[in-house]
Structure 1
Amino acid sequence: MTEAEKRRLRYLTRRGLLELDIVLTRFMQSRFETLSESELEIFRDILDWQDQDFWAIVNGYQDVPDEKYQALITLIRSA
């Protein structure tokens, strides 16, 4: 992934939901630079989710829609 694509992902982490912004800011500061190419692709997919769904999944109120997202959601939760 190019630096321009990574900058775009950083921009997309700015959400309309304050709680989600806080979680994603912590994740970006602690884990983003260590993500593999495949994890970055999955993260890009996750950032397409609606804020309310994303927040519910991060909090465990809603199931992760596909197993391929589980490991990254766990990383986001741990941040």
Structure 2
Amino acid sequence: MTKFDDTEKRRIRFQTRRGLLELDILLGRFMDKKFQHLSDDELTVFVEILDLPDQQFLALVNQKEATDKQHFIPLLEKIRKA
């Protein structure tokens, strides 16, 4: 398991700046409300999700596309609810 220190969390925060306005808005809300409460396991999944192309990430969050990665689902749900 990866342990995320403040430097890693700042790096993740920077990665949430995306090319799509819709993602910027969704992630901005999520970062303000939920990010500080994520466990290291959730942060690991979040980093994996952030590696997705913007269009695919947005499609997953908006449920326009399904994922076969079951470990994404709880975190995608948190992003939607933020």
**% identical aligned pairs:** 48
SS class of match (2:57): helix
Give the SS at the match of 1:54: helix
Deviating beyond 6 angstroms after TM superposition, the runs of 4 or more aligned structure 1 residues are none
Aligned length: 79
**TM-score normalised by structure 1 residue count:** 0.98
CA deviations over 1:24-52 (Å, ceiling 9, x no partner): 00000000000001000000100000000
Residue pairs, 1:1-79, within 5 angstroms: 1-79=4-82
- Whole-Å separation in 1 of the counterparts to 2:67 and 2:38: 19
Normalization by structure 2: what TM-score? 0.94
Q: What is the alpha-carbon root mean square deviation over aligned residues?
A: 0.6
